[in-house]
C-alpha cells in the first residue's frame, strides 16, 4: 500500500505539465524535503511494470510514459492536431480575440475558473504574459504568441475569422460589452 | 402544471411552492406518507400571505398550490363532494403527495451533491501531451472561431445567480511585502492611497489584512484622527515611538 | 503484474488531452474492444489506493486525480472551489439522476421555473445539451458533463450518491410518470 504522501505527490505530478522541483512538491503536499524524497522513491518503484515512469532532471521531477509504450503513444498523438482540451481551446479563443486580457476577464467571459487552462496554454507556449494592467493588484495581462500564429497558420491576428453564432455574426460592440463587464 | 407559472422565486428561503409545503411538513414533524395535505392548507396560506412583498405574478405559483390544498381540505370535510367536471389530472391528494415525495428526494440528492462539493474532494484531469517538448502545431482556426462563438453564446445572457463572480485573486503575502516596501520608502502612507482609485472588495480586504499583519508584527503604526477619517500608516521606528499614546 | 495492454492503455490515457473512447483506445493500442475492457478494468483496480483514478462517462475514459488528493492539487494549480447555489444544486440533482431530461421535466419536478438555473449550470459547464426529444416542439434534452464528474469527484455516474431515503418509499416508476407528465 502506498503512503498518503506518495499519493499526493503522484496527483500533483500528474496534473503538472512541466517538471516540478522537490521544494515546490514539498510546499504543496505539506511535507519535508526528506519525506518527499521517500515518497518519490516509493512512486518510482511503484511505476515499475506500469505504463508510467517517474523521470527527473536534478531536483526537478516529472511523470512521463514508459519508453516501451512509445508506439501506442505515437499512434494516439500521431495525427497532426492541436493537443489542447475543448476547455483550453475556449480560453485560447477568448485570449486570441480579446488580447491583452487578465485572467479575471477571461473567467468573466467563460463563466468558469480558468487557472488550469491558462496554465496549460502557457506550457504549450500558445499564450504569454504581456505586462500588467493598471489597477488594484496590477493583474497579469495575457496575449497570444508567435507560436500561436504559426500553429493556426495565421500571418497576423487580423486573419482571425470573425465569430459566428447560429443567429449570425456577433456585433463586435455587443461582444465587447460582454467581455468588458468585469474590467473597470 | 405548477412549474410553468412565473419565474423562480427565492424569498425567505423558499425557492418555490413545493419547497414551502415540504418545509411545513418537516417543521411539523409529519410523515410525508400519511399526512393529510389538506390539513396544511391554513398554515400554507399563512406563509403565502407573508410573501406580500412579491410581485403578483410571482405569487401565482404559490397560490396555485394553495388553492389545491384548500380543495383537498374541502374534500376531506365533505367526502361527498364530487370531482369538479373540468378538474384536470394532478389534483388528487395521491398525485400531489407523489410530487412532494419526489421533490423531497431531489432535495436530498441536491443536499448530498452540495456536501460533496463543500468537501472539496474533486478530481482533476491532466491536460495531456507528451513529455517531449514539441512546438504546438495542427491548430484549426475554424475550431478556434467556433470555440469563441460558443463562449459568446454562453456569455450573452446576464448572470443573476448567487454564484461567486470571478475576480482577481490577490495574495496577502505579496501585498504585505508591497506595503512594507512603500512604508520603508516613504515613511508613511494613507489607507486611501493604498486602496487606489477603484478598489475591488477583494483588494480592500487583502490590503486590510496585510495592514493588520504589519501592525501585529510592529512594522507599522496605525493612526486615525477621528472616526471614519483616513487611516495613516506610519513606519514604526524601534525605541523611538513616533506617536504619543 | 499488469498486462502489456493495460500499460499501453494507461500511457495513451496519460497523454490524451480529452476523454478517449473505447473504440479509439482499441484502435491505437491494437486490441479488441473486449481486451480493452479487460485492460480498463485492470487499470481501475490497480489505481485503488493510489493518487490516480480511472473515470468514465459512458464509453469515454479518462485518467484523473483521486478526489482525496484535491487539496494538494488545488494548492499546486491555484484553483479555487466551485460554488453552486441550492437552487442550482436541485436542478443539477434532477438532471444528474434523470438524464437526459428536458427543462419542462425538471420544472415539473421542482415546481418552479428553472430557466436561470439551467443557464447557470450550462455556463459552469456542469450540464450540456444532449440532442432533442422527439415530439411536439422537440424540446432540448440536458445531461451532465465531464466537468460535473470532475467537480464532484465522481469516477462515473454510477458513483452518484444514492438516495438516503428508505428504499421503496417512492416507486421509481411512479416518480418517472410524474416527472414525465409535462411532456407528451
A106 interfaces chain C, CB cutoff of 8 Å: no
What digits encode the pLDDT tens for the residues B113-157?
999 888 888 888 888 766 555 566 677 888 888 888 888 888 776
CB < 8 Å from B in window 18-37 of A: none
Interchain CB distance below 8 Å, C17 and A111:
no
Interchain CB distance below 8 Å, B128 and A83:
yes
Q: Tell me the average pLDDT across C119-126.
A: 91
User: Least CB-CB distance to C64: which of B16, B124, B128?
Assistant: B124
Q: Tell me the average pLDDT across B166-171.
A: 69
User: Least CB-CB distance to B113: which of C55, C83, C161?
Assistant: C161
Q: Which residue of B has its CA nearest to A115?
A: B169
Q: Phi-psi category of A81—alpha, beta or left, where left has phi over 0 and alpha has psi -120 to 50?
A: beta
What digits encode the pLDDT tens for the residues B83-96?
554 555 556 888 88
Interchain CB distance below 8 Å, A166 and B138:
no
What is the distance between the alpha carbons of residues B159 and B174, in angstroms, rounded to a whole number? 32
pLDDT at B56 over 70: no
Q: Which of A1, A6, A8 to mutate to test the interface with C (most CBs of C within 10 A)?
A: A8
User: Least CB-CB distance to B124: which of C117, C120, C150?
Assistant: C150
User: Which pLDDT score, from 0 to 100, does residue B160 have?
Assistant: 43
User: Which pLDDT score, from 0 to 100, does residue A163 have?
Assistant: 63
Contacting residues of A for C69, CB less than 8 Å apart = 7-8, 10-12
Contacting residues of C for B65, CB less than 8 Å apart = 111
> Residue B129, class by beta-carbon neighbours within 10 Å (0-12 exposed, 13-18 middle, 19+ buried)?
buried
User: Which pLDDT score, from 0 to 100, does residue B135 have?
Assistant: 63
What digits encode the pLDDT tens for the residues C38-81?
999 999 999 999 999 999 999 999 999 999 999 999 999 877 77
Interchain CB distance below 8 Å, C79 and A113:
yes
Q: Residue A102: how many CA atoms within 13 Å on its side-chain side?
A: 21
Among B128, B76, A169, B90, residue whose Cα is nearest residue C177: B90
Torsion over CA of B157, B163, B168 and B169, rounded to 10 degrees?
-160
Quick check: helix, strand or coil at residue B63?
A: helix
Interchain CB distance below 8 Å, A28 and C123:
no
* Confidence grade of residue C10 (pLDDT, cut at 50, 70, 90): very high
Phi, psi of C144 (to 5 degrees): -85, 165
What digits encode the pLDDT tens for the residues A31-74?
999 999 999 999 999 999 999 999 888 899 999 898 888 888 88
User: Least CB-CB distance to B127: which of A80, A81, A116?
Assistant: A116
Highest mean pLDDT among B17-26, B195-204, B227-236: B17-26
What digits encode the pLDDT tens for the residues C129-172?
999 999 888 999 999 999 999 999 999 999 998 765 544 444 44
Among B43, B33, B21, B39, residue whose Cα is nearest residue B98: B33
> Residue C84, class by beta-carbon neighbours within 10 Å (0-12 exposed, 13-18 middle, 19+ buried)?
buried
Q: Tell me the average pLDDT across A141-154.
A: 90
User: Least CB-CB distance to A137: which of B127, B135, B170?
Assistant: B170
Instruction: Calculate how close chain B gets to A123, using CA atoms only, in Å.
Output: 9
- Cβ–Cβ < 8 Å for C32, A87: no
User: Which pLDDT score, from 0 to 100, does residue B138 have?
Assistant: 73
Interchain CB distance below 8 Å, A73 and B130:
yes
What digits encode the pLDDT tens for the residues B63-112?
778 888 888 887 777 766 665 545 555 568 888 888 889 999 999 999 99
User: Which pLDDT score, from 0 to 100, does residue B196 have?
Assistant: 79
User: Which pLDDT score, from 0 to 100, does residue C164 have?
Assistant: 56
User: Which pLDDT score, from 0 to 100, does residue C93 have?
Assistant: 95
Amino acid at each position: 500500500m502506498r503512503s498518503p504522501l506518495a499519493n499526493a505527490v503522484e496527483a500533483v505530478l500528474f496534473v503538472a505539465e512541466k517538471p516540478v522541483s522537490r521544494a515546490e512538491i514539498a510546499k504543496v503536499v505539506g511535507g519535508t524535503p526528506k519525506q518527499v524524497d521517500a515518497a518519490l522513491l516509493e512512486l518510482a518503484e511503484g511505476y515499475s511494470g506500469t505504463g508510467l515512469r517517474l523521470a527527473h532532471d536534478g531536483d526537478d521531477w516529472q511523470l512521463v510514459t514508459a519508453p516501451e509504450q512509445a508506439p501506442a503513444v505515437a499512434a494516439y498523438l500521431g495525427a497532426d492536431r492541436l493537443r489542447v482540451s475543448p476547455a483550453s481551446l475556449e480560453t485560447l479563443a477568448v485570449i486570441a480575440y480579446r488580447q491583452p486580457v487578465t485572467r479575471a476577464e477571461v473567467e468573466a467571459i467563460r463563466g468558469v475558473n480558468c487557472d488550469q487552462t491558462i496554465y496549460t496554454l502557457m506550457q504549450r507556449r500558445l499564450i504569454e504574459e504581456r505586462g500588467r494592467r493598471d489597477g488594484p493588484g496590477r493583474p497579469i495581462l495575457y496575449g497570444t504568441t508567435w507560436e500561436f500564429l504559426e500553429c493556426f497558420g495565421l500571418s497576423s491576428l487580423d486573419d482571425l475569422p470573425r465569430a459566428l453564432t447560429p443567429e449570425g455574426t456577433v456585433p463586435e460592440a455587443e461582444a465587447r460589452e460582454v467581455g468588458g463587464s468585469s474590467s473597470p | 402544471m405548477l412549474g410553468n407559472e412565473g419565474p423562480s422565486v427565492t424569498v425567505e428561503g423558499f425557492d418555490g411552492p413545493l419547497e414551502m409545503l415540504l418545509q411545513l411538513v418537516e417543521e411539523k414533524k409529519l410523515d410525508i406518507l400519511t399526512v393529510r395535505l389538506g390539513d396544511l392548507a391554513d398554515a400554507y396560506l399563512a406563509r403565502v400571505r407573508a410573501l406580500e412583498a412579491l410581485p403578483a405574478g410571482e405569487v401565482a405559483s404559490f397560490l396555485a398550490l394553495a388553492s389545491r390544498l384548500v380543495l383537498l381540505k374541502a374534500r376531506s370535510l365533505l367526502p361527498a363532494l364530487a370531482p369538479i367536471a373540468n378538474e384536470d389530472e394532478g389534483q388528487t391528494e395521491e398525485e400531489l403527495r407523489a410530487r412532494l415525495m419526489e421533490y423531497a428526494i431531489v432535495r436530498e440528492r441536491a443536499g448530498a451533491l452540495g456536501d460533496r462539493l463543500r468537501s472539496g474532494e474533486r478530481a482533476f484531469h491532466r491536460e495531456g501531451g507528451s513529455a517531449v517538448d514539441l512546438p504546438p502545431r495542427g491548430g484549426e482556426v475554424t475550431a478556434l472561431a467556433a470555440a469563441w462563438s460558443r463562449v459568446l453564446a454562453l456569455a450573452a445572457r446576464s448572470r443573476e445567480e448567487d454564484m461567486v463572480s470571478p475576480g482577481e485573486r490577490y495574495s496577502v503575502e505579496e501585498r504585505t511585502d508591497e506595503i512594507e516596501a512603500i512604508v520603508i520608502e516613504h515613511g508613511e502612507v494613507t489607507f486611501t492611497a493604498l486602496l487606489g482609485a477603484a478598489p475591488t472588495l477583494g483588494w480592500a480586504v487583502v490590503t486590510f489584512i496585510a495592514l493588520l499583519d504589519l501592525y501585529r508584527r510592529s512594522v507599522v503604526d496605525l493612526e486615525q484622527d477621528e472616526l471614519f477619517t483616513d487611516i495613516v500608516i506610519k513606519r514604526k521606528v524601534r525605541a523611538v515611538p513616533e506617536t504619543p499614546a
